[in-house]
A and B are shown apart, each in its own frame.
Chain A
């Protein structure tokens, strides 16, 4: 099982994502200008400030050659995880519904947050229990998830609202306390908190983030069996 981790100019969390993915399987970096995904079984679009976050976070990265291949990969059912800036890129690419807006508190905020697993049946959370709380760091200025009410109702009915901030943890003002969502097919998932920074209790505050990468490994292996 091999993860491919994208790297844009301005990415800053791709090495942590690579190291986290290597705890669950093999992993290689994919430079943004490269259309070849190197035979990866799953893709991670990492956090950072791709292309300097100019215009809107993720707006320019979305058109990179590697992302064009990721869009095709996702259309074929491949697993794609977007973390923080990666979540913004996936929304801009319309692989995920909704958009991420400036934090309601107007601040870049960095803190450990508790999120609750609302849907544990999908490929990104199958190693988690339903309702389980994960302790994961978050650090961003544009993490306020927004989608219109009709879209939210459809997402709720379809099990697409995967993670929500626990009570009192929604510092960015996301609608319905949403922290992570998946697409209708369930193979593309984005979240604002950083599971790749929480894979080691000694330095991550918890190892809860590893469950996301483990879930992806289990899903790829189950699809092969």
Chain B
């Protein structure tokens, strides 16, 4: 099965990449965009989707500083 894992910095932890993008948008004329956060996307085929959470906890994300969401793509 195909799965998608979205990983993003935890709320409240400074996200310098998000800040940099947020500052760059107005410079290109895009006004009104805020609260920008930059994360990571991992897509993978898995035989046993029950293992996904453990994969996230142990390797794909660092739960101390990142939140993750698992989405099954069917």
Chain A interface residues toward B at CB < 8 A: 55-56, 59-60, 63, 92, 98-99, 101-106, 144, 146-148, 173
Contact = CB atoms under 8 A, between A and B. Distances in A.
Contacts of A147: 64
Nearest to B60: A55
B62 A173 contact: no
Interface residues of B, number: 10
9 contacts: A56-B62, A59-B59, A59-B62, A99-B64, A101-B13, A102-B17, A104-B14, A148-B64, A173-B14
Contact of A103 (B13, B16, B64): B16
Contacts, number: 32
Interface of B: 13-14, 16-17, 20, 59-60, 62, 64-65
B64 A104 contact: no
A55 B14 contact: no
A98 B64 contact: yes
A87 B68 CA distance: 24
B14 A92 contact: no
A181 to B, nearest CB: 14
Given A59-B62, A103-B16, 6 more contacts: A55-B59, A56-B62, A59-B59, A60-B59, A104-B14, A148-B64
B65 A146 contact: yes
A105 B20 CA distance: 10
